[in-house]
Amino acid sequence: MLSDDGPSASTSAFTFKGDSVKKTALRSAGLAGAVAVGLALTACSSGGGATADGPVEIDFWGWAPGYADAVSAYNASQDEVKVNYEEVAPGAKGGYEKMLNAVTAGNAPCLGQVGYETLTSFAAQGALEDVSDVAADDEGDFSAATWSAMSVGDAVYGVPVDQGPMALFYNTEVFDSLGLAVPTTWDEYQAAAQKIHAADPSKYISATYLNYDYAGFDWQAQAPWFGVDGDSWKVSIDSPEGEQVSSYWQGMVDEGLLSPAPMWDQSWYTGLGDGSIATHVGAVWIAGILKGSAPDGAGKWAVAPMPQWNAGDEVTGNVGGSGTAVLKGCENPEAAWDFAHFMSTDADTFSALIESAGFYPAATELLSLPVLSEGDDYFGGQNIYEVFTESSEHVADGWVWGPNMPETVGFLDDGLSAAWAGTGTIADALATTQQKTVDALEAQGLSVSE
């Protein structure tokens, strides 16, 4: 919890280091009615500046590699605010529960690392502070999609940090050995899958996908799972727009073209390293996964644009990304914002985060960082970030995360696991997830439409 050892100075005494930029209207209109949906939104408490006895202190909980160094860099850059960093378990492994428990107990830190997919869930539980008045001048510093991801309606809950634009990771050795062109459409991707498996039944074009990784395909297909319909949450997980996605992957399952190795299992890492899994369609941060967990693939991988449903299209999805959220009860939102904005926009600090955590910046000016223009030996000397810079400009608009995503993806993973194993279908998994999600939200007292 924030410690303020002396009498607070007036808010106006706090000096911001960053230059202001003109505010632009980039928020997603799809969440304009979120307050009416029943979210327990909270007002921002008044903040203070440095005290007579020393700097304002704020606490920050997170888990990303390099965050401790980012905090040290900020603390060394000025003397009005001191940030105390505590590393917690990654969100789904306990970090989120710890934050929510601290909010309930009234002793939460000012700041917490929160994934975009979970931000709305935190807001629905009244666990965040609306800092839109503090944030207004900085909106133009970030991509529209990431700013929207840290917002609900007109409320802003924190600073975007990174993003996860998608592309095609592929094993050049496998493709070259079969004379395969890099697929640019999903039809071409399926044809390549057939040729790879026919040439060697122990090899597959890809393994299976779960939860947020599967969501990236629906995102590209512009088949959002959630939205706001008047005073209600609109749930559309099994929408007609998503049917082409589910039918496509079901066809891949039915033909036996996908590796049975579960994503994140050691068998998956092994397959990526030895070439028995020839591609992965995923976010920019997969590059770090490959380099760290599939070292045998070094020099054999490359990156290309995400396959398209229609030749000539340039539409992509997004998987992952997180922001620095201001938690309920923060007594110094101005100081909290100043640090969070610094971490997301300072060139030297974020360059270090790219190297340590594989982050891809949400701040648009940082997309030209020198570290993002270098070739990577693991990828045969390719500058893979050129592909992701292009992808980030074509992420489809209109995606909305629901108010209880951990529960929703739990339902989805149960169904998808069965579908990939051949004991169910993807369509059934989506339909079941739809119904269970609607039932769960209604049980929470939220108005729902389908």
- 36-62 pLDDT, tens digit per residue, is 333 333 333 333 445 557 899 999 999
pLDDT in tens, 111-143: 999 999 999 999 989 999 999 999 999 999 999
Lowest mean pLDDT, pick from 25-39, 49-63, 225-239, 409-423: 25-39
CA angle 294, 160, 166 (to 5 degrees): 40
pLDDT at residue 32 greater than cutoff 60: no
Give the C-alpha separation, 239 to 250, whole Å.
Answer: 16
354-369 mean pLDDT: 92
Residue 17 confidence (pLDDT): 33
pLDDT surpassing 90 at residue 15: no
pLDDT confidence of residue 302:
98
Catalogue all structural domains in the chain, each as residue range(s) with its CATH number.
Answer: 11-163+321-368 (3.40.190.10), 166-318+377-449 (3.40.190.10)
Confidence category of residue 450, pLDDT binned at 50, 70, 90: confident
Q: First CA to last CA across the chain, in angstroms?
A: 41
What's the CA gap between 208 and 220, in Å, rounded? 17
Does position 198 have pLDDT exceeding 70, yes or no?
yes
pLDDT at 157: 98
35 pLDDT more than 50: no
SS3 at position 170: strand
Give the side-chain half-sphere CA count within 13 A for 444: 21
Of the pLDDT bands very low, low, confident and very high (cuts 50, 70, 90), residue 437 is very high
The pLDDT of residue 127 is 98
Alpha carbon distance 70, 90 (integer Å):
18
Per-residue confidence (pLDDT) for residue 19, from 0 to 100 = 32
pLDDT the model gives residue 346: 98
pLDDT band (50, 70, 90) for residue 26: very low
C-alpha closest to that of 297 among 167, 168, 166, 173: 173
Burial bucket for residue 192 (CB in 10 Å: 0-12, 13-18, 19+): buried
More confident residue, 257 or 1: 257
What proportion of the chain, given as a percentage, has pLDDT over 70? 88
Q: Which pLDDT belongs to residue 51?
A: 54
10 — pLDDT class (breaks 50, 70, 90)? very low
pLDDT digits (tens, 9 = 90+) for 292-339: 899 999 999 999 999 999 999 999 999 999 999 999 999 999 999 999
Q: Is the dihedral of CA 375, 167, 63, 289 positive or negative?
A: negative
* DSSP assignments along 97-149, one per residue: HHHHHHHHHT---SEEEEEHHHHHHHHHTT-BB--HHHHGGGGGGB-HHHHHH
